[in-house]
Amino acid sequence: MRIKKILLILLTLTFFIIPTSVVFADDATLKISAECAFVCDYSSGTVIYAKNENQKRPIASMTKIMMLNLIFENQANGNLKFDEKITVSKNASGMGGSQVFLQANKEYIVEDLVKSIIIASANDATVALAERIYGSESKAIEAMNRKANELGLTNTIFSNTTGLTKPTQYSSAKDVAKMLQELLQYESYYKFSSIYLDELTHPDGQITQLTNTNKLIKFYEGCDGGKTGFTNEAGYCLAATAKRGSMRVISVIINEPNSKTRFADCSNLFNYAFANYTSKQIISKNEATEYVVKIKKAKKDFYEVYAKNSIFLFGKINQKDDVKIEFERDSDLIAPLKPETAVGKFIIYVNGVKHSSVDAIIREKAERKTIGDLMKDISSIN
């Protein structure tokens, strides 16, 4: 029995371990089984690889990426608390497909439901949170479509929150990548997305084991998020993200012939991106720049200036670019000013062309001079 168990483990590892050192000369060498694929840099959105990226297709449970966007958006806005308890309706508990067997009319902590969606792709948890936030699944669907319009998803329409097949529901590889890109801005998402094994304890003490449907979380270096999907109509689908160093990549594949090729193709797309491209930080939000500003009526003569956000330059490895940073100071800066106040902009030029811009801020409070400070200034002159 022990030998059989060891052999089973070895077979499992052989099935899922993906080589992470493959180097591709160009995208023509990529052989992707998926009908549609799209790979991009997370920070800039730069396209790395695309195949039928705008084709409208059913996307199965990748639909939940949009619902998760709304969940984390409502949590960030204070409309939903992850530590609150909600009562699961009979409608939600009765959802078919992937589920965690929520018990009708019982209370569950929101965080456990979010975890169940991200790890186990639970349809019942998805509908339960849709009902909590919007009152009904139909209202949640309206919000999903509004969000799709807001994100400029021109090849997407939703008819349910779970991804169960409907003729009037579809998306594209490129649109799914945009949905995932939006979701990845929420730091609290990674608390759940990087979990491989967990469990859900029900109100009556029963336990449901949770295993992440995205196997790359465990078997691909740097993969820390994403969403799988499968229906007969959609085929095997996967939207995933991986980060190495300062570079984060998003990969989406739709309609693979089986689960094994789904993970293998996504891994090869990641390998291609990391082997051939890089993301260099050209300005850091954590370090003071060489610039300072003078603020009228402030206690100090000068204040150090920081970038509100870091800026990265994405491109091919060994590619050399001429990078210049210009600081445009706002006019008429007068104390008092709060920390994080914008005092101008940094404009980044790459090879003579504007690449991006970011707010320039001060990190400390610029306090207004008091009468005492003014008296000291006068006495120091004398």
- Which of 93, 98, 116, 121 is labelled catalytic? 121
- Which of 43, 61, 251, 267 is labelled catalytic? 61
Cα dihedral: 223, 221, 50, 227 (round 10): -30
CA 48 – CA 54 distance, rounded (Å): 15
Amino acid at the residue 184: L
Instruction: Write down the number of H helices and E strands in the chain.
Output: 11, 17
- Which of 51, 64, 174, 243 is labelled catalytic? 64
Nearest Cα to Cα of residue 17 among 301, 216, 297, 186 = 216
CA 124 – CA 113 distance, rounded (Å): 9
**Contact between residue 60 and residue 75 where contact means Cβ atoms under 8 Å apart:** no
Nearest Cα to Cα of residue 144 among 155, 132, 130, 125 = 130
Residue 121 known to be catalytic: yes
**Contact between residue 157 and residue 56 where contact means Cβ atoms under 8 Å apart:** no
Residue identified by tokens 């051939």 is 276
Ranges assigned E (strand) in the chain: 36-41, 47-51, 85-87, 107-109, 197-201, 207-211, 223-231, 235-244, 247-256, 277-283, 292-293, 303-304, 306-307, 311-316, 323-329, 342-350, 353-361
Residue 61 known to be catalytic: yes
Nearest Cα to Cα of residue 128 among 158, 148, 105 = 105
CA 73 – CA 336 distance, rounded (Å): 32
List, by residue number, the catalytic residues.
61, 64, 121
